[in-house]
Amino acid sequence: MARVLLVTYIRELIGEQETILRNAGYDVVVTSSFAESSQAIENQVFDLSMMGFSIPVAERNQLAQAFKQANPAAKIIMIYFKSLQNTELADAILQTTATPQEILTAVNYLLRKENDERPRAC
């Protein structure tokens, strides 16, 4: 089961995304501060992180760098509202108007693509 880190500073914004990902079988961890997110990245292995637009741009960039450093193969989805600054580490960028189903489609695509690139047992 793939583990997904949802990072948002406004917890109420990701309720539907969290539910749809859990219902799809993903192990979801939600963090709502820089310190909590940093600790999760240090202590757990994630396959994908989705970073919300409520995170200040500079902090989003720091978290993305820490996430990729902890697991270079992991994928990042960034949700944006107005600013596309510091999104160069993102594997996908979605606008805030993306529906929970569109988010699930992006997560499934990125994780399936990653799984397809892994060596297969003979």
Q: What is the largest CA-CA distance in the chain?
A: 48
Residue 68 structural domain: 3-116
The predicted model gives 8-25 an average pLDDT of: 86
pLDDT tier at 92, thresholds 50, 70, 90: confident
Is 38 part of any domain? yes
Residue 28 located in a structural domain:
yes
Beta bridge partners of 72: none
Domain count, the chain: 1
Q: How high is the pLDDT of residue 98?
A: 82
Q: What pLDDT, on the 0 to 100 scale, is given for residue 58?
A: 85
Write the CATH number for 18: 3.40.50.2300
* Close Cβ partners of 70 (under 8 Å, ≥ 6 residues apart): 41, 42, 45, 46
28-77 per-position pLDDT tens digit: 999 999 999 999 999 999 999 999 888 888 898 999 999 999 999 999 99
pLDDT band at 113 (very low <50, low <70, confident <90, very high): low
HEC readout, the chain: CCEEEEECCCHHHHHHHHHHHHHCCCEEEEECCHHHHHHHHHHCCCCEEEECCCCCHHHHHHHHHHHHHHCCCCEEEEEECCCCCCCCCCCEEEECCCCHHHHHHHHHHHHHHHHHHCCCCC
Q: According to the model, what pLDDT value does residue 119 have? A: 35
Q: Is 25 within the bounds of a domain?
A: yes
